[in-house]
Every structure is written in structure tokens, then in C-alpha cells.
Chains A and B, each alone.
Chain A
Amino acid sequence: AQSVTQLGSHVSVSEGALVLLRCNYSSSVPPYLFWYVQYPNQGLQLLLKYTTGATLVKGINGFEAEFKKSETSFHLTKPSAHMSDAAEYFCAVGVDSSYKLIFGSGTRLLVRP
């Protein structure tokens, strides 16, 4: 069965520092991979996704993620954190033709001034 593991339930960085949020997945077939962001008391917003093709995917708000098949990883990065990036981030894998999503448990990003 597919699963998603996000390492670190909380990550704290200083404003201007590199953001790295880790995601590893298990899937027996080529996966569809997603990162979503959730701001307090809001729904989920799509940051970026990988389906096929280029393994480095660029998303909104300066985020990007790299699909590494050999490592079964899809880590999310941003070169320079901004205070507005403080939120919870979810990695997800798409399952079969029904496109059900399996989510990781989430990582809360804290940005220090």
C-alpha cells in the first residue's frame, strides 16, 4: 500500500534562511506527487505537483521540489524563507485512476524574525 512520510512535525527557520521540508513515499507504481500548504483556519492550497517529465518542479511562492525516484523522495525547498511562509505543509501521493490522495502527517513551518 502506498504511504507518505514527512520527517519532522515542526521545522523552524530564520527569515531569509533555506527552507527544506522532507517527504518520502512508497509506491509500487510511478506516483503522482503533490505539496499542499494550509494557512491557519483555511483549506489546502496546491503548491506544486509532479506527474511525469522534469523532475525539478517549480511551484507558487518561490517553492520547488525535486522528484528522486532512487530515493523515493520529493523534498520541498525554498531558498529564502519569508514570514508569510509560516503554515502547515502536506505532501501527498496520488493513488490509481481514482486519484485518491494519501497524505503525510504534515510539517508545521515556523519562521523566526
Chain B
Amino acid sequence: DAGITQSPRHKVTETGTPVTLRCHQTENHRYMYWYRQDPGHGLRLIHYSYGVKDTDKGEVSDGYSVSRSKTEDFLLTLESATSSQTSVYFCAIREVGSTDTQYFGPGTRLTVL
């Protein structure tokens, strides 16, 4: 499972509140990604990181920010949550080398009321 954990696994919050989701990996992978999954859309990339303090935007980055102050943690922050951000959020790492594959964490289900 590539040693990826996400916390919290479930969260219910109210519109306008800040929310931070954490992705933690234990295998020192350089690349990390945040996706959101919504019915009929598959997964869409929010932000990604290619190293400590190196991040870039994905397809649906509006309303989200990220930080990566150490290799093992990649944080996703919703500064002021909206109902449209109700979704399941997945973190992924890229295993570089002969496999060169992304592996996904178990997901965080976020509900914004």
C-alpha cells in the first residue's frame, strides 16, 4: 500500500470554516499529489508536489492551498470551505524507477454543510 495514510478519514464541517487534510508517507517519495473524486468526474488533480517546498497547481486548484515542509507530509487546506468542496479526497505518491506508478491512499470523505 506504499505506506500512505490520510487523516482524518471522515470530516463534517460547516461552510466558511478552514479545513486541513493530511497525507503522510513513510517511504521518502519525492512526488505527492492531491486529487478529488466526484461522481461522473473520476479523479481530478488539485495540487501536486515534486519536493519539499516545491508545489504546483492542478486542474481544480481554486479554493485550495497546499504545503510541504518535510518529505513525508503533504497538507491540503481549504481556507474557507464551501459546499462544492464536499468530496472524497485522495492523496497519491509517485514511485519513481522501474515501476514509475502512482499509488493512492485510502481517502478522506469531507462533507461541507
Which residues in A have some Cβ–Cβ distance to B below 8 Å?
4, 6, 9, 32, 34, 36, 42-46, 49, 51, 90, 92, 98-106
Contacts and interface: CB of A to CB of B under 8 A. Distances in A.
Contact of B100 (A9, A45, A99): A99
Contact of B56 (A46, A98, A105): A98
Contacts of B106: 42-43
Interface residues of B, number: 24
A51 B43 contact: no
B43 A101 contact: yes
Interface of B: 31, 33, 35, 40-45, 48, 50, 56, 58, 90, 92, 94, 100-107
Given A99-B94, A100-B58, A43 B107 contact: yes
15 contacts: A32-B100, A43-B90, A43-B104, A43-B107, A44-B90, A45-B104, A49-B101, A51-B100, A92-B43, A98-B50, A99-B94, A100-B45, A100-B48, A101-B45, A105-B40
